[in-house]
């Protein structure tokens, strides 16, 4: 399997101000940031699977494996074990949203096989942290939990024949170093070490402008409809939930419009007059892009996330603005008092006055 990046879906491609490093944090040995964009060797494969589960916009993927297809295929199967030995290339390809959705959608308890991982490794800690967060969220909405019981893993593995396990294994990735006997293989290995470069051409820019909600969020929203609505709703501290948020806009907002224009999922939006800012929490993937591009730092995270959003999502108005027509150019602008002149016309007027005064000084010198 080889790692692929849909650069148009990467938030770092959307803006040079993006500070997102989730892929690098998950796979520091495989991915680096070059010229503000994620970069990795052409031969990178399963060893960087963790970036797939970490990316908020699903920009990364492995060839021959789809997390969305796995979700539905797994639920149709009888076995309730997720293991790199039988059905996933690595547990880290699954995001916290996938884990929650699988637990909610399954009638039987799901067990994750961590036996293939070194308990002292960063990858083990990463997978364990995702399972822990998923179970924490699940504890607020249902009685279901994900398991990592070793005894249960061995029992479930016994139900799969060796032949079936071999057939369904996704990890037939022998190292090239052990089989490098011919020049062709040598050339391929050298090429695999070269860094893949990504450019923002016109086709990529066109795709960036499109709003796209990741499949994992659509799956999460759909599976929550299977749950009974709790009698009461918890509020989770914002630092305890990594894939969604609730926001507010403070008085520093200038209605520059960049936040809802740049939001990759449409979680932030406005109306035709641009007189307000709407926010849909269930569309937010917590990529932090709106915060990174907000010059006055007016967009803030609420201290807690209300579980109620999962069951009764609503569009909230974070800010409203007084929109008027400019007396000079006739265009609409955010009016904050004083002359009814838009900022652009005010700048042009200041420049005209500067040039006029400068011309007077030059004539005086002559």
The fold adopted by the segment(s) 235-321 is Alpha-Beta Plaits (3.30.70)
- 182 DSSP 8-state letter: S
Reported confidence tier of residue 211, pLDDT bands at 50, 70, 90: confident
Cα separation, 24 vs 22, whole angstroms: 5
> What does the pLDDT read at residue 163?
42
Lowest pLDDT segment from 21-35, 135-149, 162-176, 260-274: 162-176
SS3 assignment, position 171: coil
pLDDT digits (tens, 9 = 90+) for 229-283: 888 899 999 999 999 999 999 999 989 899 999 999 999 999 988 899 999 999 9
Question: Contact, 144 vs 182, CB < 8 A?
Answer: no
pLDDT digits (tens, 9 = 90+) for 76-124: 988 899 999 999 999 999 999 999 999 999 999 999 999 989 999 999 9
pLDDT digits (tens, 9 = 90+) for 16-32: 999 999 999 999 999 99
How much is the mean pLDDT over the chain? 85
Residues 6+ apart with CB under 8 A from 5: 38, 40, 59, 60, 196, 198
Torsion of CA 19, 25, 27, 28, to 10 degrees: 90
pTM above 0.85, yes or no: no
- How long is the chain? 366
> What does the pLDDT read at residue 27?
95
> What does the pLDDT read at residue 182?
46
Lowest pLDDT segment from 65-69, 226-230, 330-334, 356-360: 356-360
């Amino acid at each position: 399997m080889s790692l692929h990046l849909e650069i148009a879906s990467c938030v770092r491609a959307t803006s040079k101000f993006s500070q997102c490093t989730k892929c690098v944090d998950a796979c520091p040995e495989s991915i680096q940031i070059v010229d503000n964009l994620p970069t990795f060797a052409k031969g990178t494969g399963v060893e960087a699977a963790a970036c797939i589960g970490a990316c908020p916009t699903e920009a990364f993927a492995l060839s021959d494996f789809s997390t969305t297809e796995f979700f539905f295929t797994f639920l149709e199967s009888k076995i309730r074990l997720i293991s790199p030995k039988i059905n996933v290339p690595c547990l880290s390809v699954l995001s916290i949203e996938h884990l929650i959705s699988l637990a909610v959608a399954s009638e039987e308890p799901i067990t994750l096989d961590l036996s293939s991982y070194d308990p002292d490794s960063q990858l083990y800690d990463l997978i364990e942290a995702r399972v822990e967060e998923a179970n924490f969220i699940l504890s607020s909405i249902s009685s279901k939990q994900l398991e990592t019981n070793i005894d249960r893993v061995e029992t479930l593995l016994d139900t799969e024949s060796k032949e079936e396990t071999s057939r369904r294994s996704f990890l037939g990735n022998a190292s090239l170093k052990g089989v490098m006997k011919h020049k062709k293989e040598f050339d391929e290995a050298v090429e695999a070490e070269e860094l893949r470069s990504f450019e923002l051409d016109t086709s990529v820019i066109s795709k960036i402008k499109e709003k796209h909600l990741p499949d994992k969020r659509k799956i999460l929203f759909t599976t929550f409809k299977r749950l009974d609505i709790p009698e009461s709703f918890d509020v989770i501290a914002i630092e305890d939930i990594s894939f969604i948020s609730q926001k507010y806009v403070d008085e520093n907002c200038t209605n520059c419009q960049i936040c809802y224009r740049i939001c990759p999922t449409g979680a932030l939006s406005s109306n035709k007059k641009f007189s307000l800012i709407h926010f849909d929490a269930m569309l937010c993937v917590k990529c932090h892009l709106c915060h990174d591009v907000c010059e006055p730092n007016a967009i803030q995270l609420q201290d807690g996330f209300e579980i109620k959003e999962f069951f009764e999502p609503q569009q909230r108005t974070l800010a409203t603005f007084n929109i008027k027509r400019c007396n000079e150019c006739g265009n609409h602008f955010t009016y904050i008092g004083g002359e009814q002149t838009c900022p652009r016309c005010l700048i042009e007027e200041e420049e005209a006055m500067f040039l006029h005064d400068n011309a007077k000084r030059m004539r005086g010198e002559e």
